[in-house]
Structure 1
Amino acid sequence: MSGDYILKRSGEQFMFNLRAGNYQVILTSQRYASKASAQQGIESVRKNSPADERYNRLTAKNGSFYFTLSAANGEIIGNSEMYTTATARDNGIDSVKANGPTAVVKDET
């Protein structure tokens, strides 16, 4: 089972979630002013998700682990959920790498 992008409204803005094949959200986008911009964000994930250097592996103040995915210009495209271990976070990155380039888009706008 492959992953998918869920494109949806968030108030007056647009956003997307990348889900793994088990339907778990593995990346949440920033908010976009237009649907077209959100769709460009999805294309940016497709392009940048295979590249390990695009991931920032981070630790929150409470000790949880998470990551961000950035475009080539350094702008953050999306954030992960919080993980209890660095290994779980790294598994999340592997899932984005595997699902990001080919996941289908489900438009719920």
Structure 2
Amino acid sequence: MEKFVITKNANDEFQFYFIDKNGDTILRSSGYTRKFMCEKGVESVKSNSQDSSKFFKKTISDDKVYFNLKAFNGKIIGMSKMYEDRISRDKGIEFLKEKAPNAPIDDQTKSSDKYIKPSSLVY
């Protein structure tokens, strides 16, 4: 099942990931010093993912592509994984639009204070 996962990163910051049913990361946030701000970030993804104008498609030098999702204030809420091509990236955007609004939140900070990272992150 698709879900948001909240973890603590190596810098002891809260971070969220949106993952698909296979555990692959679609979107990740930067670090938050406070958990409630991380939770607000998740809610921001849920609402802003419904607005196509909030997605910013990017290409890096070796022709890998990704997207950023921005909030109404222009700040980046999350960055996608790297995709091999534009078609895959665009499918990732559509997937996020479809699944994020109703996705549950798996708060892994409750079970452990250790650094927990989804296994499929490749950036």
TM, length-normalised to structure 2: 0.84
- The unaligned stretches of length 5 or more in structure 2 are 110-123
Aligned-pair RMSD on alpha carbons? 0.9
Amino acid in structure 2 at the alignment position of 1:5:
F
Q: C-alpha separation between the residues in 1 aligned to 2:3 and 2:52?
A: 20
Percent sequence identity over aligned pairs: 33
Residue by residue over 1:15-59, the C-alpha shift from the partner in whole angstroms, topping out at 9 and shown as x without a partner, is 010012332210001110111110000010011011111000110
Q: Which has the larger radius of gyration?
A: 2
Cα distance, 1:63 vs structure 2 = 1.0
SS of corresponding position for 1:100: helix
TM, length-normalised to structure 1: 0.95
Residues 76-87 of structure 1: pairs in structure 2 closer than 5 A: 76-87=76-87
- The unaligned stretches of length 5 or more in structure 1 are none
Higher strand residue share:
1
Q: C-alpha separation between the residues in 1 aligned to 2:3 and 2:27?
A: 11
Q: C-alpha separation between the residues in 1 aligned to 2:82 and 2:29?
A: 15
Amino acid in structure 1 at the alignment position of 2:90:
D
Aligned length: 108
